[in-house]
Structure 1
Amino acid sequence: MKKILMLPGDGIGPEIIKQVFKILKNYSIIFNNIKFFFSYIGGISIDKFNSSLTKETIEQCNNCDSIFLGCVGGYKWNRNIEKPENGLLKLRKKFNFFSNIRPIKCPFKNIDMLIVRELTGGIYYGKPKGFSKQIINNIPSWYAYDTELYNEQEIIKIIKISLNLSLNRKKKICVIDKSNVLETSKLWRIVSNFLLKFYKNIKLSYLYIDFASIEIIKNFNKFDIIVTSNLFGDILSDECSLLTGSLGLLPSISINNNFLSLLEPCHGSAPDISGKNIANPIGSLLSLVLMMEYVFNDLKNSKKLYYCIYKVLSMGFGTLDMKKILNNFKLVTTEEFGDLVNHYFVLND
């Protein structure tokens, strides 16, 4: 029995998770051994329990095989000491989701690459961090500080995953860093060069983050697997939405050492369009594609769902953010897009 915990979260999260659940219910009939649970994270959890991630939710995570997240955050909690995003950061750290894999894929534009992002280290988690006051020229002044910190073992794990993934792809990896300035980036280069000795016929290259941010957009076909730190991976994967046409098209899967996975789209909670039934559910539906492949080891249905999503897109159906991307654009709601994909998924069974 596979147990899946659904965490819709905030903003458009419940709307897009609803579309995922439509297909998951039908998929559970095919797979015949899936049990679903629902819980809270982020802003809605703060409202209900005064915590962005409760002990109860953590316990549910402990008892499941996979976690499917919508998104967290919103203007409503901007003044809160406890931020909705803290729940997601705590979840990643608590369960050591150290590797985040983000496919940047669009068959319409012949785009197919992977960004492998280290997820539980770096500047987001390094200490010390905080705000403080000091006197500068007799004037009290605030200053803030964050710490970029990586150890050898953290880098080894993420580089090994990238190398192993490359064996079934083009055997080409690019490490994105800032080693001309950052000591942590120098360690990334030392570790990746060492590990490459144990893998034959894999081409390893390096780019500084500033040049890479331009090159990925201009010459995306030169890349296959990109591996990088938490901060750089966050920025670059969002930037790659320019290639596909919308941040709403990007899925992700995060994994740990205990075969627990976290699935989530790459976009935010979009509170300005929440409740309007116009959110793009494709990032979450493509995350379900990843779940079928990596969690259920079901390549057949994973490919089938991927085909169904792009079949609906090829027919011109899309949410409002897809208007400039699709030919013969036909506007549909979040619900309608989910229904169309579900229809073809069941029809092709």
Structure 2
Amino acid sequence: MKVCVLAGDGIGPEIVAEAVRVLEALRTDGLKIELEPALLGGCAVDAAGSAYPEATQKLAREADAVLLGAVGGPQWDNNPRPLRPERGLLAIRKDLNLFANLRPAILYPELANASTLKPEVVSGLDILIVRELTGDIYFGEPRGVENREVDGRSQRVGWNTMIYSESEIRRIGKVAFEAARKRNRRVCSVDKMNVLETTQLWRDVMIELSKDYPDVELSHMLVDNAAMQLVKAPKQFDVMVTGNMFGDILSDEASMLTGSIGMLPSASLDASNKGLYEPSHGSAPDIAGKGVANPLATILSAAMMLRYSFGNEAAAQRVESAVKKVLALGLRTGDIWEEGCKRVGTREMGDAVLAAL
């Protein structure tokens, strides 16, 4: 299996290096995997004048999966929009038709005190957020900024278009219902149907689709209420499915229930389970190069890659078990450290996971 490795910007190279070491260890044990690096994001802009260069496009299309660190940083904030690092991330998702983003929010028992919520509220938390990734207001046309006559004077006006087709909603719904069948058989669809016609269609299609899954319970929740319920009673959820913009916000909110976004992996899949795997966190430029970033989310993303794109459940569980063992030993990077635990850096955490493997 061929993996395109995109270290990206900020802490990306540091955390990806540890995930690559894990995959290389598994390869030594017989896993048939080939790793090939390429550029995406700000580093690609600097080196090739594009956030998603042609060489990266070619490799990503040929690969069976993509492992990504993170993109972005303040040094590119003033670039023209087409040369912003984030455009590379949007472009590769669109290019590979990665329409389904899976973000688990799992609270490891050893990290119960890391959450800002009371342990009884989050203990045993295990949510899967399924976010549609290639439609919605992020990609809708028309869009832009121009001068218009408003209130009797010329001023700048910006606009974006929220748009979803029935087929886009149906295919992400299927991903959510299929995932729920392997979990606790409950899907909560999140929308804003009381205001937005786009999401009224979303709800209508989800209701129609639910007839194909009589063994899965479907519920609905408005996005503002869902945001509140995630911090009030998060364990009521099993699988949450929602659109691109709402999913972007809710998945980050859910990640913090676990104490640190540095612990949470994600997968973005196409219809054939080819995927891009990345930690849920960003490039954290403030700690880049300091060797203190938490690599566990990236390592767990590699485990998701083994599960979803390679169909190797045994290898995925082996990696996840190694992470659990390291946490049980009391090793912590700074973002999850607490009194009585041993603070370690990025490389040391990677060493510990390899030892546990």
Match of 2:340 in 1: 328
What is the aligned-residue identity percentage? 39
Distance between the aligned counterparts of 1:310 and 1:267, measured in 2? 20
Kept in 2, the 8 Å contact 1:217–1:242? The answer is no
2:275 equivalent to 1:276: no
Corresponding letter in the other structure for 1:110 = G
* Residue-by-residue CA offset, 1:223-261 (whole Å, 9 max, x unaligned): 000000000111011011221101111110111124421
1:316–1:327 contact (8 Å) kept in structure 2: no
| Shift, 1:148, TM fit | 0.6
CA contact (8 A) 1:245 1:322 kept: yes
Deviations 1:125-162 (Å, cap 9, x if unpaired)?
Answer: 00111111123345431111111110000000000111
2:347 equivalent to 1:342: no
Q: Is the 8 A contact 1:123 1:147 kept in 2?
A: yes
Alpha-carbon contact 1:248-1:283 (below 8 Å) kept: yes
The aligned amino acid for 1:105 is: I
Paired with 1:278 and 1:31, the residues of 2 have a C-alpha distance of 31
How big is the shift at 1:165? 1.2
What SS does the corresponding residue of 1:252 show, helix, strand or coil?
strand
Q: Is the 8 A contact 2:6 2:39 kept in 1?
A: yes
CA contact (8 A) 1:6 1:37 kept: yes
Shift of 1:44: 0.3
1:120 and 2:121 correspond: no
- Give, in whole Å, the separation in 2 of the partners of 1:327 and 1:185: 46
Match of 2:40 in 1: 41
Contact 1:65 1:259 in 2 (8 A): no
Q: Is residue 273–residue 308 contact of structure 2 (8 Å, CA) maintained in 1?
A: no
Matching residue of 1:66: 65
Superposed displacement of residue 200, structure 1: 1.7
CA distance, structure 2, for counterparts of residue 266 and residue 71 of structure 1: 9
Task: Give the aligned residue type for 2:14.
Answer: E
What TM-score comes out, normalization by structure 1 length?
Answer: 0.95
Gapped regions of structure 1 (runs ≥ 5): none
Q: Within the alignment, does 1:193 sit opposite 2:192 as a pair?
A: no
- Kindly provide the amino acid, as one letter, of the partner of residue 45 in structure 1: A
Correspondent of 1:292 among 295, 299, 306: 306
| 5+ long unaligned stretches in structure 2 | 110-122
| Aligned-pair CA distance for 1:327 | 5.5
Normalised by the length of structure 2, the TM-score is 0.93
Match of 1:175 in 2: 189
**1: CA distance, partners of 2:231 / 2:306:** 29
Paired with 2:180 and 2:160, the residues of 1 have a C-alpha distance of 33
2:224 to 188, 210, 225: 210
Bigger Cα displacement from structure 2, 129-138 vs 83-92: 129-138
Partner AA of 2:165 in structure 1: N
Which residue in the other structure is 2:91 paired with?
A: 90
Does 2:265 correspond to 1:264?
no
> Per the alignment, do residues 258 and 297 of structure 1 end up closer, same or farther by CA in structure 2, a change over 3 Å counting?
closer
Change (3 A) 1:104 1:342: same
**Distance of aligned partners of 1:212 and 1:32 in 2 relative to their CA distance in 1, 3 Å threshold:** closer
Query: Match for 1:163 among 144, 155, 177?
Result: 177
Per-residue CA deviation, residues 89-128 of structure 1 (Å, 9 max, x unaligned), is 0000111000011111123131111000000000100011
- The secondary structure found in structure 2 opposite 1:342 is helix
One-letter amino acid matched to 1:33: K
1:184 pairs with 2:185: no
Would you say the 8 A contact 2:193–2:199 is kept in 1?
yes
Q: For 1:99 and 1:37, how far apart are their aligned partners in 2?
A: 24
